[in-house]
Homo-oligomer: A and B are copies of this chain.
Amino acid sequence: MVKKSFGDMHCTLAQALDVIGEWWSMLIVRDFFFGGGVRRFEQLRDGLGISRNILTERLRTLTDAGVIERIPLREGGKRCAYQLTAKGEALMPVMIAMMQWSEEWQCTPEQRFIVVRDRETGEEVAPLELRSADGRAVKMQDLFITAIGPDGERRVTEWPLPISEPDAMQSQGS
């Protein structure tokens, strides 16, 4: 078994998971948002209850991927802070999508720990919505998925696929 990775999969989701899909990674990112984009080693450790060796490893992975960067507090010094890069800040929608899904489908309101608010109004941000290129809100039923293979792009499926005909399922490659 080599290093656990989806890196060689031909899929942008797999590539994303290779960076943020490991155990602890998204919680570390959350703690950065929580701290205004800047955290230090012990701060992360205390806040998350993660063990030092795992934290070390995750910080290295995130740094290598360019999600955070190491910032020495004194030049030449060993002590440092870690700071979200633009790439790391761009994970905000991912985090919010997860939290909103969780809030809607499996958590009670009391389990909420952080809330993201608009500075201008103080209101919480709106639920993320899928939109078409021309700005209409779209639902699952308004979408279809295409797959890109060596032979170009081809439509794969529409929903909902009726489950009534088991034979029809045999023919679907993956």
Residues in A lying within 8 Å of B, measured CB to CB: 4, 6, 9-17, 19-23, 26-27, 30-31, 33-38, 40, 43-44, 46-48, 65-66, 71, 73, 81, 83, 87, 89-107, 111-121, 123-126, 128-136, 138, 140, 142-148, 153, 156-161, 163, 166, 169, 172, 174
Task: Tell whether A16 pairs with B99 under 8 Å between CB atoms, given A115-B148, A121-B134.
Answer: yes
Copies of this chain in the oligomer: 2
The A interface, classified by DSSP as helix, strand, loop or mixed, is mixed
B46 to A174, Cβ gap below 8 A?
yes
Q: Closest CB of chain B to A126's CB: distance in Å?
A: 4
Q: Closest CB of chain B to A75's CB: distance in Å?
A: 13
Seed contacts A13-B98, A40-B169; 14 additional CB < 8 Å A-B pairs: A4-B23, A11-B30, A12-B113, A13-B113, A14-B27, A21-B23, A90-B101, A93-B101, A114-B147, A115-B147, A117-B145, A118-B142, A119-B143, A125-B133
